[in-house]
Amino acid sequence: MADLSQQEWTEQLKADDNAVVLDVRTQAEVDEGMIPNAIHIDIYKGQGFVDEIEELDKTKNYYVYCRSGNRSGQACNIMNQLDFENAYNLEGGFNEWQGDVVHND
Q: How far is CA 92 from the centre of its chain?
A: 12
**What does DSSP say about strands 61-65 and 39-40: parallel, antiparallel, or unpaired?**
unpaired
Find the catalytic residue in 66, 76, 78, 90.
66
What crossing angle do the helices spanning 70-81 and 47-54 adopt, rounded to 10°? Answer: 60
Calculated CA dihedral for residues 57, 13, 85, 21, nearest 10 degrees = -40
Q: Do residues 41 and 82 lie in contact, with contact meaning Cβ atoms separated by under 8 Å?
A: no
Active site includes 66? yes
Catalytic residues, which ones?
66
